[in-house]
Copies of this chain bind each other. A is one copy, B any other.
């Protein structure tokens, strides 16, 4: 079985992505997760270019890693200089790693135009820099920048740079598609060509500018590369690097290549979400393998088929990568989506056939108004429960008023007054807020607190507004989605109205009502 090393550069190349900035602590936390995952190498940073990176190397050295080796990145020595005196190479030594990753120029145009030196000097820079680090006992991974573009422009010279790195003692020759514009077939031919020339193992490092980084990485492996570089979630400069969350499961489950233990892939979804959380990037829900939508079924025909057999519309079992199957309820869906949803919610709500149809009609009608129950499972379950007799609302609005005041020289001031009934008790209170919805949220919590102390644990974690049919201007329908969590679980609720305050209020009271329902059920979720 072919075996391939996985090399993660989230902490260096990944941090070049727009909007991404890791603190040293962030980097340590991510490195520990990557080690737990079993990736073979973790590129920690570029100590010569960034003082923050040096601190990372100091701190990570104190962590006992189980699986991964930390590498420090740097470029070949300066033109005309000496390897032993090069500040960049010295800082790699200072990082205290056992493995260095050195990048060098392959493309003749870059040598003469970006580096402003001669083609011969560049070859010397590569050979001497690698040899210097080898002489200090380090393993050297050589990144041939712009290899594929260089090979097109001047094949003889491109191969001569690899020869220089191999001559200097590099343990791996990594072919980089730095500008990310190569096609799979070009990658395949180049890897085969280099494989014939060199006995040193080859690696691949792809960027995603052509939307082909994953395909290019896999193609390189199938053509003989034994080392793959990429980042978690594909973060990186411009369009990002090859996404390891896609490359690794493809290699393992599709290509039969040995990488990390198959069992570890069950932590892949968690890894992806953890890194997007630390990076404070919106997770892309459609991300293959690990996205929240990756195994989410919406079309009615799809759902009725997966109920019979999941692999009718799933390429792999979601659990293999730690993800899960979801069924969405929308106007596109049929009865089978509803039935699946019951089962998933573990609802003990046996609706009669007629009730089912009624519910489906009601849902379609609400969706016509602009409701959307995807991501609003809380409102959906409440809707179901209200259809059955025996559901008691935990509180009722008597009336409310929101007042917003602004004047030329003062910022806006908002307060809300609400009157609610809980059972036979009436509570009448008021609160301020940053804005009208925040003021309502505050007043509602204040009103309900003494009846339901557990609402103190419920936190709004997300608030989204979508103006429907925006052409109607300020008179358009508005949909509000709210996400709430209580530390154990989280749930979404939805409200729609022409009035944004009313829409928000609907989503707000659903979020509290649903939280109370689940709290009452305690550890028996789903039991009515």
Interface of A toward B, CB cutoff 8 Å: 15-19, 21, 23, 25, 49-50, 52, 75, 109-110, 113-114, 178-181, 183-185, 208-212, 214-216, 218-219, 222, 234-235, 237-240, 243, 246, 250, 254-255, 280, 282, 284-289, 291-302, 304-305, 308-309, 311-316, 328, 330-332, 367, 372, 374-375, 396-408, 411-412, 414, 433-438, 440-441, 459-476, 478, 482, 497-502, 504-505, 508
Is the beta-carbon distance between A330 and B286 smaller than 8 angstroms?
A: no
Q: Is the CB of B467 within 8 A of A502?
A: no
Q: How many copies does the complex hold?
A: 2
Q: Which residues on the B side are within 8 Å of A250 (C-beta)?
A: 183, 210-212
Q: Which residues of B contact A436 (CB under 8 A)?
A: 404, 436, 499-501
Contact A17 B286 (CB under 8 A): yes
Closest to A216 in B: B215
Rounded to whole angstroms, the CA-CA distance of A482 and B110 in the bound complex is 39
Q: Which 3 A-B pairs have the closest CB atoms?
A: A181-B315, A215-B215, A460-B473
Taking a contact as CB atoms under 8 Å apart, the answer to whether B500 and A305 are in contact is no
Q: Which residues of B contact A19 (CB under 8 A)?
A: 285, 293, 372, 374-375
A264 to chain B, nearest CB (A): 19
A294: shortest Cβ distance to chain B, in Å?
5
CB distance from A351 to the nearest CB of B (A): 23
Cβ distance A445 to chain B, nearest Cβ, rounded Å: 11
Q: Are B471 and A25 in contact (CB under 8 A)?
A: yes
By a CB distance below 8 angstroms, the chain B residues around A402 are: 402-404
Min distance, Cβ A471 to any Cβ of chain B, angstroms: 6
- What chain B residues lie within 8 Å of A468 (beta carbons)? 23
Report yes or no: B463 in contact with A470, Cβ–Cβ below 8 A.
yes
B498 and A181 within 8 A (CB) = no
In the bound complex, residues from chain B placing their C-beta under 8 Å from that of A291 are: 239
